Chain A
Amino acid sequence: MSEQKNPERPGEPNGQEEAVPAQRDDTGEVIGTRRGMFGANNGGDTTGYGGLVRTVRLPGASLRPYGGPRAEGAYGEFDEIADELEGALDEQGLIPENVITKTVVDRDELTFHIEREYLPTVAKTLRDDPALRFELCTGVSGVHFPGDQGRELHAVYHLRSITHNRLIRLEVSAPDADPHIPSLVDVYPTNDWHERETYDFFGIVFDGHPALTRIMMPDDWQGFPQRKDYPLGGIPVEYKGAQIPAPDQRRSYS
């Protein structure tokens, strides 16, 4: 082992730094904090756990090489997909760094975080480029992160390539104040109902969708039920004189 000192941490040899296990909590992207132990956020927590603070961090951006299945050494299929996508974007005169804000490899899955205005371009490239060929889109799934300032609403797409037998994920975010994401119905017609569903539940407006209307909830429904700040409501159940509150108002482990 080299005896050279670590320039950033004088007095600490390189070998020792490697021996320290990676601190999971220090990496990743903060999307919110949880306080207390039992979900009581209104000061009613008398358990003594009220001072607990937990920062919620999702896996952050990964560095090259990404690896992936059928990897030869460190270089794997995920690098191949990323190279092809960046190359194809380059050919269209786009700067890949502006389009793909972040690439995350977590749990053997590859996620591209896409800047929302470029989503249709990226999807079309992924579908049509012979080296990529993601023919099948499995729809869109919305996620609401109220604590992720400026990127509260996420739309997550999973694309499957039957030609190359691969699966990737695209993630796009939009702020609560401007919940617009371009529609992918032109590229993947299957997203028609999926986008209507995500609009129905999260209020994400998919610009360019042919008929963005509610699909599950009644047409005159107010609000977007699967947002985190939408109350469950629930019907108070009278049970031998006691009232059972709705699940989101019960004590719960936060």
Chain B
Amino acid sequence: MTTAPHSHSSNGHRTSSDFDTQESLARETTEGTVYNVSGGDWDEIAAAAVKSDDERIIVNMGPQHPSTHGVLRLILEIDGETVTEARCGIGYLHTGIEKNLEYRTWTQGTTFVTRMDYLTPFFNETAYCLAVEKLLGITDDIPDRATVIRVMLMELNRMSSHLVAIATGGMELGATTIMIYGFRDRELILDIYELITGLRMNHAYIRPGGLAQDLPPGAVDQVRAFIKKMRKNLPEYDKLATGNPVFKGRMEGIGYLDLAGCMATGATGPIVRAAGLPHDLRKTQPYCGYENYDFEVPTADTCDSYGRFLIRLEEMRQSLRIVEQCLDRLEPGPVMVADKKIAWPAQLALGPDGLGNSLDHIKKIMGTSMEALIHHFKLVTEGFRVPPGQTYAAVESPKGELGVHAVSDGGTRPYRVHFRDPSFTNLQAMAAMCEGGQVADVIVAVASIDPVMGGVDR
């Protein structure tokens, strides 16, 4: 075994000369090559900057920085206050969800995918379930009630995601009031989630074939009360921000990306709509019966952060309209496909120790019907088989096109599931938006992309 080429001082602390030797970057050990990625001391960097003629300097922003939306690392080459080159370092939140899915049943998959983009859990679940249902060929058999509830939850989710985008984006500009407003309203939506699914995030409520359970009593009333309250609250964002000269001054013309740039970088969602293209999968390739709802796709022609902000505001108003239409369409009925070979056998019920199998169901399988017990056991442990093939299902998430490429080999577990997360693709546009601008504008541009690292890294 070779020893480390650099010496340590006797008290165990490294001296500053340890860092700047070239050998310290890589060394051979019995376990293979070990790379040391070590920084320098600030005073050395400052001294080096003073010595060099130009003010060109490379700054790592993140991965732990309050204004980078999670563990995003921005590598900026700056010349004075101007960003000459901008790159992203990602992967700090990679959790291997796609690989893990391959070792769980198709139904268990929703529990994983809901954790990808944690601000849009219902979109992840719906996209995944649409793909599984397409592979099974049961797309048309999903009960209407389940589809309407899916749409309602997705549109509530669109609002809660946009609220976070606006709130955190505002906070990064120093507008803490808009942050307080945004999280106040998001809390109302999370209360609805909690009532319906039992959880504020990571729901796994939408399942292949339908939903985990029906709406609980009082859910419709609470959503109606929320719509009434939200109609009052939404104009406050307009009053606070839309016409605010300071806010506009920070946002207008920043993070510019035109339609050609959007197509090249694959950017979708509010970014492409701010470039004037009314591209929305809910309209162009309707799923979940979106063609039957009355709503509009807002666009802007400014191609900048301010346009994206306005689009998010308007989309929240449109979502509110869709939620209202969902409530009017809710009719009693099943929320899971009739096919007992696919439908989850248990009916969940709230017991004194939390959500679990309903006592009636347990009484039936344990006390009266051996066949029901076998069926329950087989479906829960083995799961259902999905015919071989591949499919692509896409939904319009608040951030853009969320696509799921699912491959089955005929087994009870996914052979491969790939998520085309809009955050991942949109984040590539960061360089195009930031280069040539000011350092302070990088924050605004990244906030207008609204990346969520859980979705970027998966």
Interface of A toward B, CB cutoff 8 Å: 24, 28, 31-32, 34, 54, 56-59, 106-107, 109, 111, 135-139, 141-144, 156, 158, 160, 162, 165, 167, 169, 188-194, 197, 201, 214-220, 222, 225-226, 232, 247-248, 252-254
Check if A216 sits within 8 Å of B90, measured CB to CB.
yes
Chain A residues, CB < 8 A from B58: none
Check if A252 sits within 8 Å of B103, measured CB to CB.
yes
Is B82's beta carbon under 8 Å from chain A? no
A216-B94, A220-B33 known; A252+B413 contact, CB < 8 A: yes
Chain B residues, CB < 8 A from A32: 409
| Interface residues of A, dominant DSSP | mixed
Please, which residue of chain B has its CB at the minimum distance from the CB of A111? B390
Docked Cα-Cα span, A66 to B424, in Å, equals 34
A216-B94, A216-B457 known; A141+B35 contact, CB < 8 A: no
Within 8 A of A (CB), among B420-434: 420, 424-425, 427-428
Given contacts A156-B418, A197-B424, 7 further A-B contacts (CB under 8 A): A58-B409, A138-B401, A138-B420, A162-B279, A188-B264, A189-B265, A217-B94
Docked Cα-Cα span, A54 to B387, in Å, equals 13
Rounded to whole Å, the gap between the CB of A149 and the closest CB of chain B is 16
Chain A residues, CB < 8 A from B56: none
Docked Cα-Cα span, A29 to B164, in Å, equals 47
Docked Cα-Cα span, A31 to B99, in Å, equals 20
CB-CB nearest 9 A-B residue pairs: A190-B266, A141-B418, A247-B103, A216-B91, A216-B94, A141-B405, A189-B264, A56-B409, A253-B382
Check if A109 sits within 8 Å of B392, measured CB to CB.
yes
Docked Cα-Cα span, A28 to B90, in Å, equals 40
Residue among B104, B263, B382, B413 having the largest count of chain A Cβ atoms under 10 Å: B263
Is B63's beta carbon under 8 Å from chain A? no
Is B137's beta carbon under 8 Å from chain A? yes
Rounded to whole Å, the gap between the CB of A129 and the closest CB of chain B is 16
Rounded to whole Å, the gap between the CB of B384 and the closest CB of chain A is 11
Please, which residue of chain B has its CB at the minimum distance from the CB of A169? B392
Contact of A54 among B91, B103, B410, B427 (CB under 8 A): B410
Listed A/B pairs (15) with beta-carbon separation below 8 Å: A24-B387, A56-B409, A58-B389, A58-B390, A107-B137, A135-B263, A136-B268, A143-B407, A162-B284, A167-B285, A193-B425, A193-B427, A214-B91, A216-B91, A232-B103
Rounded to whole Å, the gap between the CB of A155 and the closest CB of chain B is 11
Chain B residues, CB < 8 A from A222: 32
Check if A156 sits within 8 Å of B425, measured CB to CB.
no
A216-B457, A225-B96 known; A190+B91 contact, CB < 8 A: no
Please, which residue of chain B has its CB at the minimum distance from the CB of A171? B390
Contact of A143 among B100, B416, B427 (CB under 8 A): B416
Docked Cα-Cα span, A193 to B451, in Å, equals 15
Rounded to whole Å, the gap between the CB of B411 and the closest CB of chain A is 7
Check if B91 sits within 8 Å of A226, measured CB to CB.
no
Please, which residue of chain B has its CB at the minimum distance from the CB of A108? B134
Please, which residue of chain A has its CB at the minimum distance from the CB of B424? A193
Contact of B98 among A136, A137, A214, A226 (CB under 8 A): A226
Check if A253 sits within 8 Å of B412, measured CB to CB.
yes
Docked Cα-Cα span, A144 to B394, in Å, equals 22
Residue among B103, B135, B418 having the largest count of chain A Cβ atoms under 10 Å: B418
Rounded to whole Å, the gap between the CB of B427 and the closest CB of chain A is 8
Contact of A58 among B388, B411, B413 (CB under 8 A): B388
Rounded to whole Å, the gap between the CB of B115 and the closest CB of chain A is 16
Docked Cα-Cα span, A28 to B388, in Å, equals 10
Chain B residues, CB < 8 A from A158: 392, 403, 405, 420
Rounded to whole Å, the gap between the CB of A211 and the closest CB of chain B is 10
Rounded to whole Å, the gap between the CB of B377 and the closest CB of chain A is 12
Rounded to whole Å, the gap between the CB of B212 and the closest CB of chain A is 22
Contact of A167 among B94, B279, B392 (CB under 8 A): B392
Check if A226 sits within 8 Å of B392, measured CB to CB.
no
Contact of A190 among B90, B94, B265, B279 (CB under 8 A): B265
Check if B382 sits within 8 Å of A156, measured CB to CB.
no
Chain B residues, CB < 8 A from A56: 388, 409-410
Check if B35 sits within 8 Å of A254, measured CB to CB.
no
A31-B409, A158-B403, A190-B266 known; A59+B389 contact, CB < 8 A: yes
Rounded to whole Å, the gap between the CB of B306 and the closest CB of chain A is 24
Docked Cα-Cα span, A232 to B277, in Å, equals 43
Contact of A247 among B90, B100, B285 (CB under 8 A): B100
Chain A residues, CB < 8 A from B103: 232, 247-248, 252
Is B182's beta carbon under 8 Å from chain A? no
Chain B residues, CB < 8 A from A109: 391-392
Rounded to whole Å, the gap between the CB of B453 and the closest CB of chain A is 11
Docked Cα-Cα span, A219 to B277, in Å, equals 38
Chain A residues, CB < 8 A from B32: 222
Chain A residues, CB < 8 A from B135: 107
Chain A residues, CB < 8 A from B277: 162
A190-B264, A226-B98 known; A215+B90 contact, CB < 8 A: yes
Is B383's beta carbon under 8 Å from chain A? yes
Docked Cα-Cα span, A232 to B104, in Å, equals 13
Check if B424 sits within 8 Å of A225, measured CB to CB.
no
Docked Cα-Cα span, A160 to B383, in Å, equals 33
Chain A residues, CB < 8 A from B405: 141, 156, 158
Please, which residue of chain B has its CB at the minimum distance from the CB of A156? B405
Rounded to whole Å, the gap between the CB of B277 and the closest CB of chain A is 7
Please, which residue of chain A has its CB at the minimum distance from the CB of B381? A253
Contact of B266 among A59, A138, A169, A232 (CB under 8 A): A138
Check if A139 sits within 8 Å of B266, measured CB to CB.
yes
Chain B residues, CB < 8 A from A189: 264-266, 428
Chain B residues, CB < 8 A from A201: 98
Please, which residue of chain A has its CB at the minimum distance from the CB of B402? A138
A167-B285, A220-B33, A253-B382 known; A139+B392 contact, CB < 8 A: no
Docked Cα-Cα span, A106 to B418, in Å, equals 19
Check if A217 sits within 8 Å of B266, measured CB to CB.
no
Chain B residues, CB < 8 A from A59: 388-389
Chain B residues, CB < 8 A from A141: 405, 416, 418, 420
Rounded to whole Å, the gap between the CB of A248 and the closest CB of chain B is 6
Chain B residues, CB < 8 A from A165: 284-285
